[in-house]
Structure 1
Amino acid sequence: MNKWYGHPVFVVAALINVFVMGLAIVWSGDQAALWRLLVEDGIVEWMQFLCFAVTSGLLAFAAVEHWQRVRRIDLVLLALAGMSLVVALAALEEISWFQRILHIATPDYFVQNNRQGETNLHNLAIGKSGSIHKTILVKLIVLVGLTHNIVLPLLARTRPAIRTFVEKFGLYLPPLWPSVLYVALVILSNVAVDHPRKGELSETFGAMHYLTSVFAAYFLGVNYGRPPIFENLTDRRRVATLFGMLLVFLLLTGWLLSAGAGAGSYLAIHPDGGKG
């Protein structure tokens, strides 16, 4: 699709991310509302889980489709299956493996070594005040995110061999304008929002961006040189419309889950809203 705005699915994702950013700015003067947005089991954390869960499912589906086409284990299959597993783990880590939802007591090891006293790995303590998330993962995400979303797409504009090389390993490069918007929103959220958990906004923007770019590349062939899952133009148009509706539904579902799955009770137990 050669329209100036690219593919409509990116427009829907961008509007949702801008909406969440707008909420954070509007609610900056209302700490109770801002906590509701950013707290554990709040709106943005449920959005992250839902986006990661759907992304993992899409990647697993793409892996199965690739296997059915080639009937052999190759780099593309391993990449798709591996990314599906990693994203599934990220989804489960976001909600501490359903611990709070199922009211499961935290094991002694995590009580002593987890910064939030929860059953997850990314908040395990490192040193006196650090954690795996803050000390390692954040830096890694920034490096990989800028390379994948800005550096490589820019270089690929004049060196198409870069895109071909990336796709050889089962990966893809997202279109540039959604990536620039994603990075801009991350910067804006860190500058415009004064809150100890403002980093949750960056994670939500990234989860929505990657959900959309994974779908666009592997299922629709947007900015992707290999044959997409939906090769027929009419099928791509129909499934893209359904996907746009799904994105809006995920926002609604995240909002409903935050109201009914414990954000309020979490704040009552942890007035500081958690540390990671």
Structure 2
Amino acid sequence: MLNRKWYSHPVLLTGIAINLFVLILAVSVKGSPEQLMRVLTEDGIVEWMQFLCFAMTAGLLVFAGVERWKRSGFDLATLGMLGLGLVVAAAAMEEISWFQRILHVQSSEFFQQNNRQGETNLHNLAIGKGGSIHKTIMLKMILLAGLTHNVILPLLARSRPAVRNFVEKFGVYLPPLPVSVIYLVLVALSHVLIEHPRKGELGELFGAVHYMSTIFAAYFLGFGYSQPAVFQQTVEARLVDKLFSGVMLFLLLTAWLLSAGAGAMMG
């Protein structure tokens, strides 16, 4: 377990830096509707980064779950990690409409008639007048779950350690409160500083990066996590956290290149 402060943890700091960079990028081009749209549009850097972070996080969760299974046997925490991994993997696929646009697959008649964007995904299925599953249901659930997981439970755990122990029994961790506060502040700033119909994509990206970095810090390095971490040797963990920081930056570069390629194809 790494007993360092959050502000000296490379993975956590890299996650914050990536989110701050994307916010600054969006603010810097907000005066140009065309450039801002290229940042926030389908197959833009924000959406590709979301997919890459979700895909990486799903892999991390499944890997951590399998390692726990090997070391401690199959228990409720193992089931929780594996289950969360599958949910996040589905979120990643939903983000790119299950590779529909990449493979140039035509949507079925059902999705053409019932999906707000005419795509093959579930979160944009229409509900009521002008609504969708994502806007009407999922955003409210994400907001409630996000505040509970990032603020309420970490605050309670400070004075009641039993709260953290209870949460960890289900294979869940609690992110560091200061890191969560920074994440939520960046989400709030994105809503205040950016005026665009798709500005909510920024908050979703911030969440994807935040969870990727804090999940790695908890499950793999034992940061703020009382259960056995994947890497338990301090020297080994200190090398791995720097390596993963580099991987996160590489994901950002990859998202940028993918978005540039999509823009060239559309052009």
Where on the TM-score scale, by shorter chain, does this alignment land: which range? over 0.9
**In 1, Cα distance between equivalents of 2:25 and 2:262:** 21
Is 2:234 the counterpart of 1:233?
yes
How far does the alpha carbon of each residue in 1:236-275 deviate from its partner, in whole angstroms, 9 at most, with x for none? 011101100011001000000011135862xx7xxxxxxx
Is 2:224 the counterpart of 1:245?
no
Find the partner of 2:30 among 28, 31, 36.
Answer: 28
Q: Is the 8 A contact 1:53 1:91 kept in 2?
A: yes
**In 2, Cα distance between equivalents of 1:155 and 1:165:** 12
Unaligned runs of 5+ in 1: 269-276
Residue of structure 2 equivalent to 1:254: 255
**In 2, Cα distance between equivalents of 1:127 and 1:263:** 36
Supply the AA of the counterpart residue of 1:101.
I
**In 1, Cα distance between equivalents of 2:79 and 2:141:** 22
Aligned ranges 1:1-276 → 2 under 5 Å: 1-3=3-5, 5-71=7-73, 73-261=74-262, 265=266
**In 2, Cα distance between equivalents of 1:34 and 1:20:** 11
Q: Is the 8 A contact 1:36 1:263 kept in 2?
A: no
Tell me the SS of whatever aligns to 1:261. helix
Q: Is the 8 A contact 2:41 2:47 kept in 1?
A: yes
Supply the AA of the counterpart residue of 2:55.
A
Q: In the TM superposition, what is the alpha-carbon distance from 1:93 to its structure 2 partner?
A: 0.2
Q: In the TM superposition, what is the alpha-carbon distance from 1:194 to its structure 2 partner?
A: 0.3
How far does the alpha carbon of each residue in 1:209-249 deviate from its partner, in whole angstroms, 9 at most, with x for none? 00001100000000000110000001101110110001100
**In 2, Cα distance between equivalents of 1:262 and 1:85:** 30
Structure 1 residues 162 and 253, CA gap change in structure 2 (3 angstroms):
same
Pairwise CA RMSD? 1.2
**In 1, Cα distance between equivalents of 2:56 and 2:4:** 27
**In 1, Cα distance between equivalents of 2:105 and 2:248:** 30
Structure 1 residues 263 and 40, CA gap change in structure 2 (3 angstroms):
farther
Supply the AA of the counterpart residue of 1:173.
L
Unaligned runs of 5+ in 2: none
**In 2, Cα distance between equivalents of 1:245 and 1:104:** 34
**In 1, Cα distance between equivalents of 2:229 and 2:77:** 13
**In 2, Cα distance between equivalents of 1:127 and 1:121:** 15
**In 2, Cα distance between equivalents of 1:231 and 1:42:** 38
How far does the alpha carbon of each residue in 1:181-205 deviate from its partner, in whole angstroms, 9 at most, with x for none? 1100111111110000000000000
How far does the alpha carbon of each residue in 1:98-134 deviate from its partner, in whole angstroms, 9 at most, with x for none? 0001000010000000000000000000011100000
Q: Is the 8 A contact 2:6 2:179 kept in 1?
A: no
Q: In the TM superposition, what is the alpha-carbon distance from 1:3 to its structure 2 partner?
A: 3.5
Give the TM-score normalised by structure 2. Answer: 0.97
Tell me the SS of whatever aligns to 1:49. helix
Q: In the TM superposition, what is the alpha-carbon distance from 1:6 to its structure 2 partner?
A: 4.6
Aligned residues: 265
**In 1, Cα distance between equivalents of 2:248 and 2:112:** 36
Q: Is the 8 A contact 1:39 1:263 kept in 2?
A: no
Q: In the TM superposition, what is the alpha-carbon distance from 1:4 to its structure 2 partner?
A: 6.3
**In 1, Cα distance between equivalents of 2:108 and 2:71:** 45
